[in-house]
Amino acid sequence: MNREIRILMVEDKAADALLIHHALRKAGLRFRSRRVDSRDAFLHELEHHPPDVILSDHGVPGFDGFAALAEARSRCADVPFIFVTGAPREQIHEETLRSGADDYVLKDTLHLLAPAIDRSLRDADVRARHRKLDAALADAEEQLRLLTAEFEEYASFMLDGEGCVASWNPGAERLLGYEPGEILGQDARRFFPDLAAGQDAFGEALKAALREGRMEQTACAARRSGERFRARQTIVSLRRKDGKSGFLCIIRDLSQGERRPAGTGRDPAQLEAANRELEEFTHHIALELRAPLRHIESFCGILMRNAFGRLDPKSRSYLKTIADSSHQLGRLVDDLFNFSRIGRSEMYRLHVSLRDLVDEVIHDLRSEAEGREIEWRLGELPQVEGDPVMLWVVLTNLVSNALKFTRPRRHARIEISGRPGERETVVSVRDNGVGFDMARAERLFGPFQRLHTKEFEGAGLGLANVRRIIERHHGRVWAESEEGKGAAFYFSLPAGRGP
């Protein structure tokens, strides 16, 4: 820990306070400390000199540690509270867990205090990030609710692995006419009676989505009233680590577009693409992130601190798996919110040096290249016009992918260059990695699309971010590859055109 921390100590014995100071300095901790031994003094310090961490004796005459803990939780709930006591281990362990303190250290093991402080501060930082995330989630959900109201010709709902309705929303109720109580658990084939007949084309559509990840087709759909209408059906396969499968089904009423007067300014193709991204984002927020992200990491941290040493090897392995999974969820949250904000962020057009951006990206990703044999080939990298932050995101995603997919190579080669032209500059990032099958290339730039699902980590949002940013610059993105022989990703930036 490099920064200096502020410690508030509830301790009536000056000698014990000196021993604590000595132990923390010996551990290399940088700190400033204030000692109090009464409730009034404690409350004064909380108000006028807010601490980063509170250390409290178990029993101070007239003001014990549990009273101090209660005051601290009511006034500064996020500040870590650690008991430093000479009470018996069994007694303090049980009382600490019951009281809600962050940790405890016995006075005869003060060498453990600095690690406990460091651990508690990191946990407090995680809790603070979670609160910000919760606020961001609430804001995102409200934005999604407002946006969804604009798509009156769409219905979206979840299907289980057998094709039965697992969720129902107001848009689906409005478009198809069924109330939740009468449709949940029912076979979704009733929405497409023509597909359900004969060879069960609807079942084949589910199999196609399961095989390819996504299936789209135009078909005749039916409302509860029996009215038929022409619809565009999209089915997205949802694969979970627990082995269970399901589907996200999106139905667009094409007849609404046909009846819409000319000149409304709403392009159906653009609406369909926007809704597809919106629904997938909503699904991942609601089903994958909400409860697991709030609870798994917090409770896992408590178990790691208080019970890890008492677990058998198999249970420790389980606990580590939970911790790793919560960390993965955290990364997914970051990716999702980056993806959702790109379209709303204000864009600035400036003169940008591609050479400087590439040098910065390579420096930022140096930890991913550490210990590897990597040959960097940097060609011509001219100046372009665009948003420097967004272009940094583009290059970071492309170079990070090149580093990731060249990991199996003993000698990795990554080439980055730009080719200026009269109308546009084309930038390329090439590597000698594992490559991909060009027959599946159209899936590359879609959200949550991954061609290498088992061998390499990732949420499938990096290239979707690249596409959205370059499209906002009025450019193009594409890729070329051959399996086992590397890949080349390209994007273009037009010259002298405003965003």
User: 29-43 pLDDT, tens per residue?
Assistant: 899 999 998 888 999
Distance, in Å, from the CA atom of 67 to the CA atom of 207, rounded to the nearest integer, reads 62
* DSSP 8-state code for residue 110: G
The top-level CATH class assigned to 350-494 is: alpha beta
Residue 354, helix vs strand vs coil: helix
Measure the CA–CA gap between 246 and 46, rounded to whole angstroms.
51
Write down the architecture of domain 151-266 according to CATH: 2-Layer Sandwich (3.30)
With 90 as the cut, is the pLDDT of residue 2 above it?
no
Tell me what pLDDT residue 436 has: 77
Q: What percent of the chain is modeled with pLDDT above 90?
A: 11
Residue 238: phi, psi to the nearest 5? -120, 110
Pick from 50, 100, 48: which is nearest to 73 by CA? 100
Q: In DSSP terms, which residues pair with 238 in a beta bridge?
A: 246
Q: At a CB cut-off of 8 Å and minimum separation 6, what does 402 contact? A: 414, 429, 430, 431, 433, 487
More confident residue, 23 or 211: 23
- Within 8 A by CB and 6+ apart from 471, the residues are 477
Whole-angstrom distance, CA of residue 4 vs CA of residue 9: 16
Nearest CA among 342, 357, 346 for reference residue 425: 357
Q: Where are the domains of the chain?
A: 5-121, 151-266, 287-342, 350-494
Contact 12, 20 (CB under 8 A): no
Phi first, then psi, for residue 62 (nearest 5°) are 80, -10
Residue 293: partners with Cβ closer than 8 Å, 6 or more residues away: 130, 133, 326, 329, 330, 333
> Is the dihedral angle over the CA atoms 263, 268, 270, 275 positive or is it negative?
positive
> Taking the model in full, what pTM does it have?
0.39
Note whether 408 and 433 are within 8 A (CB). Answer: yes
Cα 462 to Cα 440: distance, rounded to the nearest angstrom: 17
Q: Which residue has the higher pLDDT, 168 or 195?
A: 168
> What pLDDT, in 10s, does the model give residues 174-204?
888 898 888 988 998 888 876 655 556 788 8
For 5-121, the fitting CATH number among 3.40.50.620, 3.40.220.10, 3.40.50.2300, 1.10.3720.10 is 3.40.50.2300
Work out the average pLDDT over 224-242.
79
- Name the residue type at position 60: V
Place of tokens 């009423």: 253
Residues 222/206, Cβ–Cβ less than 8 Å: no
Instruction: Tell me the DSSP string of 398-447.
Output: HHHHHHHHTTT-SEEEEEEEEEE-SSEEEEEEEE-S----GGGGGGTTST
Of the two residues 324 and 30, the one the predictor is more confident about is: 30
Whether 90 shows a pLDDT value over 60: the answer reads yes
> Stretch 391-405: mean pLDDT, rounded?
87
Distance CA(343)–CA(428), nearest Å, equals 23
For residue 412, what are its two tokens? 């990795």
- Does this chain's domain 5-121 share its CATH topology with 350-494? no
- Torsion, Cα of 42, 47, 52, 55 (10° steps): 10
Contact 329/459 with Cβ under 8 angstroms?
no
Residues 248-257 have a mean pLDDT of 77
Q: What's the token pair of residue 397?
A: 């995603």
User: What pLDDT is attached to residue 145?
Assistant: 56
Provide the greatest CA pair distance for the chain. Answer: 88
Cβ atoms of 159 and 166 closer than 8 Å: yes
452 phi, psi to nearest 5 deg: -120, 85
Closest to 151 in 3D by CA, of 238, 237, 234 = 234
Mean local confidence (pLDDT), 303-314: 79
- 106-131 residue pLDDT tens: 888 898 899 989 888 888 888 888 77
Give the pairing of strands 350-353 and 228-239.
Answer: unpaired
Residue 421 to residue 408: CA distance in whole angstroms: 35
Confidence at residue 21, expressed as pLDDT on a 0 to 100 scale? 92
Q: Buried (b) or exposed (e) across 300-313, using 16+ Cβ within 10 A?
A: bbeebeeeeeeeee
* Residue 349, token pair as written in the block: 């057009």
Q: How far is CA 141 from CA 144, 147, 170, in A?
A: 5, 10, 15
Tokens of 123: 């946990």
Amino acid 264: pLDDT: 44
pLDDT at residue 416 is higher than 90: yes
Burial class (CB in 10 A: 0-12, 13-18, 19+), 337: middle
d(CA 100, CA 474): 54
pLDDT of residue 327: 62
Residue 400 scores a pLDDT above 50: yes
Whether residue 365 is predicted with pLDDT greater than 60 in this model: the reply is: yes
